[in-house]
Amino acid sequence: MSDQTNEEEAPGPAPPELLHGSPVTWSVGQKVVHPDRGSYLGLVEALKAEGFNVCIDLCAVDYLAQPGRSLPDGVAPERFEVVVNVLSHGRRERLRVRVQVPEADPVVASLFALHPGCEAMEREAFDLFGIRFQDHPDLTRILMPEDWEGHPLRKDYATGRVPVQFKAAPASR
């Protein structure tokens, strides 16, 4: 009985919550927005205008080993994800932005023009994941040496692959 009344009150699934046209999900009480690559820069700009004045963190995740993760409808999972945490001093609120970045073309717009503080963090994501940020002024490696091959935090980059040269043990007298 009660089931039927519930169905009558809510016909069909509730429309997904949207923020500037991008679907919103909640992850253990934290608000997450999932824009596509095209609307990513515009979304962060709109958020900045809304009061999210600090880009507190930017990092990347390689979902190679976890393709079936839960994402809202309409968001196609890709191998990489760029995760941006913005903070509003005025509203005392945090918001997370997750952008899907495909493996074949790992390029995403740089937030440098909006939040200059992303400079080092985007370089870190480039260095460790190989994601390129368009219009970044100085996209070079930051943590790894310049001549390093590969991007270590990718899931297909095995640990312990660097050959270590051991010196021969001194002969015992």
Partner 1 sequence: MTAPTSGMAGTSEGAQELHARNETDPLELLREEGAVLRLPEGTVVDPGDMSVEIAENETMIINMGPQHPSTHGVLRLMLELDGETVVRSKPVVGYLHTGMEKTQEELMYIQGSTNVTRMDYLANFHNETVFSVAVETLLEVDVPERATWIRMLFMELNRVSSHLLFMATNGMDIGAISMMLYGWRERELVLAFFERTTGLRMNCNYIRPGGVAVDLPEGWREQILAMCEAILPRLDEYDTLLTGQPIFQERTQGVGVITAEAAIALGATGPVLRSTGVAWDLRRDMPYMYYDQLDFDVVVGRYGDAFDRYAIRLNEIRESIRLIRQIVDLVPAGDYRVQDKKVTPPPRGRIDESMEALIHHFKLFTEGFKVPAGETYVAVESPRGELGGYLVSDGSAKPYRFHMRDPSFVNLQTLPVMLRGGFVADAVAIISSVDPVMGGVDR
Contact set with partner 1 (CB under 8 A): 27-28, 30, 53-57, 59, 61-62, 65-66, 69-70, 83, 85, 89, 92, 94, 96, 112-113, 115-121, 124, 128, 137-138, 140-147, 152-153, 159
For partner 1, the closer CB: 79 or 115: 115
Q: How far is the CB of 74 from partner 1 (least distance, A)?
A: 19
Q: How far is the CB of 114 from partner 1 (least distance, A)?
A: 8
Q: Are 101 and 80 in contact (CB under 8 A)?
A: yes
- How many residues can be counted in the chain? 173
Among 65, 72, 60, smallest CA distance to 33 is for 72
Round to whole Å and give the CA distance between 39 and 70: 21
Q: How far is the CB of 94 from partner 1 (least distance, A)?
A: 7
For partner 1, the closer CB: 46 or 54: 54
For partner 1, the closer CB: 54 or 75: 54
Among 65, 78, 2, 68, smallest CA distance to 34 is for 78
Give one DSSP letter per residue of 71-101, joined into a string. Answer: --TT----SEEEEEEEEETTTTEEEEEEEEE
For partner 1, the closer CB: 36 or 57: 57
